Structure 1
Amino acid sequence: MLISNARPWAGSPSDILIEMGKIASITAHDPQRILQAADVDGRGRILIPSFSDVHVHLDSTRIGLPFREHTGRPGVWGMMSNDRENWRDAEINLPERVAGTLERMIARGTTRVRSFAQVDVDTKLEKYEAVVAAKEKFSNEAEVQIMVFPQAGILREPGTENYLEDALRAGADAMGGIDPCALDRDPVRHLDVVFGLAEKYQVDIDVHLHEPGALAVFSAELIAERTRALGMEGKVNISHAYELGGVSPATSRRLIETFAELDISLTSVAPSTSNHLPLVDLVDAGVRFGLGEDGQRDYWSPYGDCDLLERTWQLAFVNGYRQDELIGHALAVATMGGASIMDRSVSRLASVADRPGLAVGDRADLVLVDGETITSTVMDRGIDRTVIHGGTVVAESLKVLSVEQSF
Structure 2
Amino acid sequence: MIQAFWLTNVRLDKGFETGDDGVFHTISEICHLKIEDGKIAEIVSATEPLDTPLPQEDAKGLLALPSFVEKHNHLDKTYAGATWKSCLPPKKLIDRLEFEAKEMPLMTGTTKERAQAMLQLHIKGGATHVRTHVNIDPYIGLKNLEGVRAALEEYSDRLTYEIVAFPQQGLLRTQASSLMRQAMKEGATLVGGLDPAGIDNELEGSLREMMDIAVEADADVDIHLHDPGTLGFYTIKRLLDLTEEAGWQNRLAISHAFALGDVSMEESSDMADRLSQLGTMIMTTVPINRAMPPVPMLHAKGVQVALGYDGFYDSWSPYGTGDMLDKLNRLVERYRWVDEISLVQSLYFITGGKTTLDKDGNRAWPKVGDEASIVFAESSCSAEAIARKSRRAAVMFKGKIVHGALERMGETK
- Normalized against structure 2, the TM-score is what? 0.87
Aligned residue in 2 for 1:6: 10
Q: Secondary structure at the match of 1:62?
A: coil
CA displacement 1:335-385 (0-9 Å, x = unmatched): 123x8xxxxxxx9x9879897442222212111111123232123333342
Residue 35 and residue 83 in structure 1: after superposition, are their counterparts in 2 closer, same or farther (change >3 A)? Answer: farther
Give the distance between the partners of 1:162 and 1:30, measured in 2 at CA. 62
Deviations 1:220-241 (A, max 9, x none): 1111111111111110000011
Give CA-to-partner distance per residue, 1:193-238, whole Å, 9 cap, x none: 1111111111110011111111111011111111111111110000
Change (3 A) 1:396 1:92: farther
Matched to 2:208, the amino acid is D
Gaps in structure 2 of 5+ consecutive residues: 14-26, 407-413
> Residue 95 and residue 28 in structure 1: after superposition, are their counterparts in 2 closer, same or farther (change >3 A)?
same
Q: Find 1:78's aligned residue among 95, 98, 115.
A: 95
Distance verdict in 2 for CA 1:36–1:307, change over 3 Å: farther
Deviations 1:79-111 (A, max 9, x none): 222233334556982211111211221232111
The two structures, once aligned, show a CA RMSD in angstroms of: 2.5
Deviations 1:303-355 (A, max 9, x none): 22121111111222223322222222332211123x8xxxxxxx9x9879897
1:155 to 172, 179, 183: 172
Q: CA deviation at 1:273?
A: 5.2
Closer/same/farther in 2, CA of residues 353 and 125 from structure 1, 3 Å limit: farther
The CA distance in 1 between the partners of 2:211 and 2:359, in whole Å, is 31
SS of residue in 1 equivalent to 2:61: coil
Q: 1:67 to 1:365 in 2, by over 3 A?
A: same
Give the alignment of 1:125-204 within 5 angstroms.
125-158=142-175, 160-204=176-220
What CA distance in whole angstroms lies between the structure 2 residues aligned with 1:141 and 1:34?
30
Tell me, yes or no, if the aligned pair for 2:286 and 2:330 is still in contact at 8 Å: yes
Aligned residue number for residue 410 of structure 2? none
State whether structure 2 residue 223 is matched by structure 1 residue 219.
no
Q: Is the 8 A contact 2:9 2:30 kept in 1?
A: yes
Counterpart position of 1:324: 340
* Cα separation, partners in 2 of 1:357 and 1:287, compared to 1, 3 Å: farther
CA contact (8 A) 2:276 2:302 kept: yes
Deviation at 1:395, TM superposition (A): 1.6
For residues 258 and 377 of structure 2, what CA distance do their matches in structure 1 show? 31
Deviation at 1:286, TM superposition (A): 1.2
Within-5 A mapping of 1:195-274: 195-272=211-288
Cα 1:324–1:288, aligned 2, differ >3 Å: closer, same or farther?
A: same
Q: Larger deviation: 31-40 or 380-389?
A: 31-40
Q: Are residues 357 and 375 of structure 1, via their aligned partners in 2, closer, same or farther at CA, if it must alter by over 3 Å?
A: closer
C-alpha separation between the residues in 1 aligned to 2:174 and 2:390?
46
Write out per-residue CA displacement over residues 159-208 of structure 1, whole angstroms, 9 at most, x where no aligned residue.
x1111111001131100011111111111111111111111111110011
Which one has the largest radius of gyration? 2
More divergent stretch after superposition (206-215 vs 316-325): 316-325
Which one has the bigger strand percentage?
2
Aligned match of 2:64 in 23, 47, 54? 47
CA distance, structure 1, for counterparts of residue 358 and residue 64 of structure 2: 20
What is the alpha-carbon distance in structure 2 between the residues aligned to residue 72 and residue 280 of structure 1? Answer: 32
| Residue pair 2:101, 2:139 contacting (<8 A) in 1 also | yes
Which amino acid is the alignment partner of residue 178 of structure 2?
N
| Aligned length, in residue pairs | 388
SS at match of 1:294: coil
* Aligned partner of 2:33 among 2, 16, 28: 16
Counterpart residue identity of residue 237, structure 1: A
> Given that residues 10 and 62 in structure 2 are in contact (C-alpha distance below 8 angstroms), is that contact kept between their aligned partners in structure 1?
yes
Gaps in structure 1 of 5+ consecutive residues: 340-346, 399-407
2:241 partner SS? helix
- 2-structure distance, mates of 1:213, 1:268: 16
Instruction: Kindly indicate whether residue 386 of structure 2 is the aligned counterpart of residue 370 of structure 1.
Output: no
2-side partners of 1:353 and 1:18: how far apart?
A: 25
- 1:4-38 superposed Cα distances (whole Å, 9 cap, x missing partner): 12123463211112222222222211463268774
The reply on whether 1:104 has 2:121 as its aligned counterpart is: yes
Counterpart Cα distance in 2 of 1:246 and 1:101? 32
Query: Which whole-Å CA distance do the structure 2 matches of 1:315 and 1:258 have between them?
Result: 24
Of 278-287 and 43-52, more deviation after overlay is shown by: 278-287
**What secondary structure does 1:116 align onto?**
strand
Counterpart Cα distance in 2 of 1:264 and 1:91: 33
Retained in 2: the 8 A contact 1:326–1:352?
A: no
- CA separation in 2, counterparts of 1:282 and 1:215? 20
Q: Tell me whether 1:64 sits opposite 2:81 in the alignment.
A: yes
Mapped to 1, the partners of 2:135 and 2:323 lie a distance apart of: 22
* Matched AA of 1:58: L
Query: Which is worse superposed, 16-25 or 229-238?
Result: 16-25
SS of 1:144's equivalent in the other structure is strand
Listed as ranges, the matches of 1:285-324 within 5 Å are: 285-324=301-340
Residue 224 to residue 59, structure 1, CA distance change in 2 (3 Å) = same
Q: Distance in 2 between matches of 1:353 and 1:212?
A: 39
Partner residue, 2:409: none
Instruction: State the match for 1:29 in structure 2.
Output: 46
Change beyond 3 A, Cα 1:255–1:382: same
